[in-house]
Amino acid sequence: MASEHSHLQRCMEKDCAPPLPAPPQATGADDGGLEARSVSISLEAEVPEVLFDGMRQFLEHHPQWDQYRLISSALAGFLFQNGCGDQGVTQHYLNGLFLRP
C-alpha cells in the first residue's frame, strides 16, 4: 500500500518529475505487452452536473468505454499535458490514445 501512496504523492507534488521507476511488467493481456500492471485505488469525487451529463452521454454513444476507463484516461491526459513526467502516467496516457478495449 505504501508504494501506491508514494506514486500518488509524487504526482501531487509541485515538481512531478520523479526518477524513472523500474520497467513495468506486462499483464499478459493481448495488448502487445504495452499495458503496465497497475494497482487500482478507489476515488470519490464530486463533479459538476454538466460534466456528469457529458460523461453519461459519451458512454451511451461509445459502448466500448466505461466510466472507469474514461476517468482514468482523462486523469492521465491531464497529468501528462501538465508536465507530469512519471513513466506510468505517460504509459496510461499513450495506451488511452492507441489501444482498443
Residues 6+ apart with CB under 8 A from 87: 20, 21, 24
CA-based Rg of the chain, rounded to a whole angstrom? 15
Q: Give the CB-side neighbour count of residue 82, counting CA atoms within 13 A.
A: 12
Q: Which residue has the higher pLDDT, 73 or 14?
A: 73
CA dihedral angle for residue 72, residue 74, residue 75, residue 78, rounded to 10 degrees: 150
Q: Where are the domains of the chain?
A: 2-98
pLDDT at 99: 74
Cα distance between residue 36 and residue 25, in whole Å? 6
Question: pLDDT digits over 7-66, tens only?
Answer: 555 555 544 443 433 434 434 444 444 444 568 888 898 999 999 999 999 999 999 999
Cα distance between residue 7 and residue 36, in whole Å? 14
Q: Which helix (H) or strand (E) holds 88?
A: helix 87-98
